[in-house]
């Protein structure tokens, strides 16, 4: 029997890994790789470290499928990598264990369902924003006031660092650069 690796991830620094870590302890995981980073990011150093350590006979355990993958495509790529290395994969909450034929089938089915669910949520969000716009409301951050933008541009011209400008004025870096670009285009 190989080594049992656990991969735990939450999307923000404020969220807790405790529930995942408790499940790993109960399962008997030997080593845990923890990350506090959004699942959509490609660069996940702890995931890469774990993947580099995998050897034939090892097992990768996650609390839920969405903790390890960015998309169905990524999940299937990971499953193919695990298969090629002779590594088993377990998702505790989804009750998937690829050491069995049924587990491999469920794994692929659950990956497809998880992607479908994300797509439905995304479509609902877009529809909600469109409905709000039709009623004259806009989603997203409130717009920066002209006074704040003018102050941010003045601070920029006075050679203040951008992070300090955003902190002092509340104008985001993206907004500041947008108005600076507009000013350059007007000249």
pLDDT tens-digit profile of 73-113?
788 788 888 888 999 999 999 888 988 888 878 777 766 77
Joined together, the tokens standing for residue 91 give: 């998702």
CATH of 4-116, one of 1.10.3720.10, 3.40.50.1390, 3.40.50.300, 3.40.50.9100: 3.40.50.1390
Question: pTM (2 decimals)?
Answer: 0.57
Residue ranges per domain, the chain? 4-116, 146-186
CA dist list (Å): 67 to 9, 54, 74, 114, 173: 5, 18, 12, 11, 30
Active site residues: 11
Summarised one tens digit per residue, pLDDT across range 115-131 is 777 788 888 888 888 88
DSSP 144: P
Residues in the chain: 187
H or E, element range at 7:
strand 4-10
28 within 8 A of 75, measured Cβ to Cβ: no
Question: Looking at the DSSP assignment, which residues form a beta bridge with residue 35?
Answer: 9
Neighbours of 39 (CB within 10 A): 17
Handedness of CA 92, 12, 33, 116 (dihedral sign): positive
């Amino acid at each position: 029997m190989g080594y049992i690796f656990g991969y735990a991830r939450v999307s923000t620094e404020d969220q807790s890994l405790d529930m995942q870590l408790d499940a790993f302890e109960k399962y008997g995981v030997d080593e845990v790789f923890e990350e506090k980073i959004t699942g959509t990011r490609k660069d996940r150093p702890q995931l890469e470290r774990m993947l580099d350590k995998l050897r034939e006979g090892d097992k990768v355990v996650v609390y839920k499928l969405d903790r390890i993958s960015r998309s169905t495509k990524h999940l299937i790529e990971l499953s193919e990598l695990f298969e090629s290395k002779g590594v088993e994969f377990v998702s505790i909450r989804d009750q998937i264990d690829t050491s069995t034929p049924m587990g491999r089938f469920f794994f692929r089915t659950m990956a497809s369902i998880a992607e479908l669910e994300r797509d439905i949520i995304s479509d609902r969000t877009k529809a909600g924003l469109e409905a709000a716009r039709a009623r004259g409301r806009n989603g997203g951050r409130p717009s920066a006031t002209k006074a704040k933008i003018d102050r941010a541009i003045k601070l920029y011209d006075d050679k203040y660092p951008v992070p300090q400008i955003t902190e002092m004025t509340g104008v985001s870096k993206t907004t500041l650069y947008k108005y600076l670009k507009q000013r350059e285009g007007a000249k």
